[in-house]
A and B are shown apart, each in its own frame.
Chain A
Amino acid sequence: MSDSAAHPREDDPDAEPVSDPAEADAPEPAGDQNRSTDGSIDEVSTGAESVVAALEAAGAETAFGVQGGAIMPVYDALYSSSVRHIMMAHEQGAAHAADAYGVVAGEPGLCMATSGPGATNLVTGIADADMDSDSMLALTGQVPTEFVGNDAFQETDTIGVTRPITKHNYFAGNADDVGDIVGEAFALSAAGRPGPTLVDLPKDVTLDDTDRTPGPAEAPAGSEPDPTAREDAVDAAARAIEDADRPLCLFGGGVIKGEASETAREFARTYGIPVTTTMPGIGSFPEDDDLSLSWAGMHGTGYANMAITHTDCLIAVGTRFDDRLTGGIDTFAPEAEVVHVDIDPAEISKNVHADYPLIGDAATVLDQLSAAIREAPDADEWRERCDEWKDTYPMTYSTPDDEPLKPQFVVEAFDEATDDDTIVTTGVGQHQMWASQFWTYTEPRTWVSSHGLGTMGYGLPAAVGARVAADTIGDIDRDVVCFDGDGSFLMTMQELSVAVRENLDITVAVLNNEYIGMVRQWQDAFFEGRHMASDYNWMPEFDKLAEAFGALGIRVDGYDEVAPAVEEALAYDGPAVVDFHVDPEENVLPMVPSGGANGRFALSEDQL
């Protein structure tokens, strides 16, 4: 211990600096005397117990995290709590798992880490949740209050670092208030437009005595906006929709977060309005519906991008008009009056001017619109045009005998072998695009991906979180399939150890092209094919690595091996990794070049 103190490890409690006075004065851990037999905290005696009592009161069922010195009191209080803790391999994995858990379960995910490197490792996952408006609560340990600001061991200004990537963050100043703060942070993350919150927990605060039982989790005043849009604005938008010749719905992630998928489906079908979605909006509207044009944007379908280019009335619900959706603003839906429904006033006219701003909850406002629309727009001709575009720009790929296995084929094979409620998670890159293009999504909360931040490595920890969420809400028969790239998988594959330890039934399909494929594609299109730092040339054998972790590992090289591998992996009760060696030269198409016109999507590389 005396030697190891010179090189302390965050996961080694014995390596705490011996001069930590808060440690010396620390009360004895409370043990189990304050806990009821059902594993929840009845009577609070420390700040840490107040934290856990607040989590229980808020209804949190699962936490993902990594231990460490400054967060140890909170972990100790979790010891016999009803909150289930999943020990992750890396804090980034904990944040992504919590994020995905929240997406699938529809409630805030919870992640925990210690101070310093624990907290900074969470940062990517918090930023990811922030960009995708996912509700999540992060709890971070912090050095004792009297050391804050002194560059103490494992000290980082976590509040400062996470301020721009959280909805709000809190520094817990004393043990009496810490439980209420945690409850508020939990509730705030789900209130209105969701987003991550964080509570920084100094070790002296969590160790300190308190008998204050936290109250119910309540979001701060003013954080739950009025769900109803102004009537006059609704009426004006209704008139615009009635008068439209080429109306188009654009459903974003807000439709899913607002639990408005049913309402949105009914709205589009009642008025016969074709539907496209954003990527986070995948699943809000069934892609096998006649009205569905699938999703729009950089790698969206040709027909969605034609429709969005030619619509004269765009009914956008719960979307922030990201640049990957709009392409160049100058050519985005250039003839459309925009009806923009959003819970966040700051998104109205931020990127695209809203002719009819409707600020409110997605389902509520769609109901208001339905009540105000007197007759459906006359859009027979427009629907025919949309159908023609589906025939003109079909989502196809070719499978010539002399070329390697196509990744799209793998995605389709999994889609065919699984039920509609299967949850798909992905990393970021080409595989992510194929997983979204060649899988037919029909249900909300089945598509779990990193959109706004574009975090490579999201897929596997997200699969862990999604699996735990599905099991927690009782959907133990749902499949969880993670499509990953070789590059993405390599970034967070240590979380496979968690899937094995917890015996999580997930299937990882690595679409292995031994490239950072999307970068390779851009280099071919825009950098004269100079493959600088995108060509791995070599990859470890993922099937054998999977076996070394204790998972099922399968390698696939050809078309005839796909179906048996898919079947075996899905049937396996536990984590399975299938390493599909796919065509390294395959490109994601169609493609709207960055800043280009959606209607000018390229259908082949030479059109870029």
Chain B
Amino acid sequence: MSGEHSAGIPGPAPEERPQPEGRRNLEGHRIDPVVEAQHDSRRAVISALVEDEPGVLARVSGLVSRRQFNIESLTVGPTTVEGHSRITMVVEETDPGIDQIEKQMAKLKPVISVGEVSGDAVTSELVLLKVQGDEPDKVHAVAEMYDGQTLDAGPETITVQLTGDESKIDDAIDAFEQFGIIEIARTGQTALARGNIPTAPGEKPGTAGEPTTPTID
């Protein structure tokens, strides 16, 4: 049906027009087409101080899923300041992606401050592991190796609690595999910046810009 119709605007056809040789990559950076630099994704811990109001977790998790950010874990818990909670997210993203997560989270009204926790942050996770109870002595020995605690020991199952950073937890889980892991529950990584560095930018530890609870000297 086309062809016969009078449609069309005068002018040189697309391939007759000059086209610059430059290109941009998927992140919108101008690139040298010969040596295209690509961003690798990396793990980052994002910490946000938020107002503890109904739906705040839904707002954050909805944002993450809507914008297709890759997250490994998300934890949330109260702070010592009434009405404030801390959300800790572990993400696997490129640098521009991490930047976007921070900026988009900062736009949420209940988010007070947000940022990436610097690389040498203190991170930890808690894991509950339930294994077969056939070899209690061996289970206790492995648990001790990883500074774990036995929380429940019965004739059929033993439940162990482990804490630590990700690599320690991964190693421990590998070691417990030999007993047959029946169930596992992990909290996901939570994190604080070391020393005097605020965990989320602009955050004054213990105050967060609000009247604080008394600190113990």
Q: Which residues of A contact B (CB under 8 A)?
A: 159-160, 163-164, 167-168, 171, 188, 220, 223, 302, 306, 309-310, 321, 329-332, 334-336, 344-346, 348-353, 392-398, 400, 403, 524, 529, 585-587, 589-590, 597, 599-607
Q: CB distance A160 to B6 under 8 Å?
A: no
Binary CB contact string for chain B from 18 to 55 against chain A (1 if under 8 A, 0 otherwise): 11111111111110000000000000000000000011
With A and B bound together, what is the CA distance between A395 and B59 in angstroms?
A: 46
A294 to chain B, nearest CB (A): 14
Q: CB distance A394 to B28 under 8 Å?
A: no
Task: Point out the residue from A332, A353, A604 that lies within 8 Å of B7, measured CB to CB.
Answer: A604
The answer to whether residues A604 and B17 also contact, given A223-B109, A334-B23, A334-B24 and a CB cut-off of 8 A, is no
List chain B residues, Cβ under 8 A from A350: 28, 100
B residues 38-78 with Cβ under 8 Å of A? Answer: 54-55, 58-59, 62-63, 66
Contacts between the two chains (Cβ within 8 Å), count: 130
Asked if B11 lies at the interface with its beta carbon under 8 angstroms from chain A, I say yes
Q: CB distance A344 to B107 under 8 Å?
A: yes
Q: CB distance A600 to B17 under 8 Å?
A: yes
Asked if B211 lies at the interface with its beta carbon under 8 angstroms from chain A, I say no
Q: CB distance A163 to B58 under 8 Å?
A: yes
Q: CB distance A394 to B54 under 8 Å?
A: no
Q: CB distance A334 to B9 under 8 Å?
A: no
Given pairs A348-B103, A353-B30, A599-B20, 19 additional interface contacts (CB within 8 A) = A160-B58, A171-B55, A223-B109, A302-B9, A302-B11, A309-B19, A331-B23, A334-B23, A352-B24, A394-B11, A396-B10, A398-B8, A524-B2, A585-B5, A586-B7, A589-B9, A603-B9, A605-B7, A607-B14
Asked if B99 lies at the interface with its beta carbon under 8 angstroms from chain A, I say yes
Task: Point out the residue from A223, A336, A352, A394 that lies within 8 Å of B10, measured CB to CB.
Answer: A394
The answer to whether residues A398 and B14 also contact, given A164-B62, A345-B106, A597-B19 and a CB cut-off of 8 A, is no
List chain B residues, Cβ under 8 A from A163: 55, 58-59, 62
B78 to chain A, nearest CB (A): 20
List chain A residues, Cβ under 8 A from B1: 524, 529, 585
Report, as a range, how many residues of chain B touch the other chain.
Answer: 35 or more
List chain A residues, Cβ under 8 A from B13: 603, 607
Q: 28 A-B Cβ contacts within 8 A?
A: A160-B58, A168-B108, A302-B11, A309-B20, A310-B18, A321-B28, A329-B28, A330-B25, A334-B30, A335-B30, A344-B107, A345-B103, A345-B106, A349-B27, A351-B28, A353-B29, A394-B10, A394-B11, A403-B6, A524-B1, A524-B2, A585-B7, A586-B7, A589-B8, A597-B19, A600-B17, A606-B2, A607-B14
Task: Point out the residue from A302, A334, A353, A603 that lies within 8 Å of B20, measured CB to CB.
Answer: A334
Closest to A160 in B: B58
List chain A residues, Cβ under 8 A from B22: 334-335
Asked if B214 lies at the interface with its beta carbon under 8 angstroms from chain A, I say no
Q: CB distance B8 to A603 under 8 Å?
A: yes
B69 to chain A, nearest CB (A): 13
A360 to chain B, nearest CB (A): 15
List chain A residues, Cβ under 8 A from B107: 344, 346
List chain B residues, Cβ under 8 A from A605: 2, 5, 7-8
Q: CB distance B6 to A398 under 8 Å?
A: yes
The answer to whether residues A310 and B26 also contact, given A600-B14, A603-B13, A606-B2 and a CB cut-off of 8 A, is no
> Which of A188, A309, A346 has its CB near the most chain B CB atoms (within 10 A)?
A346
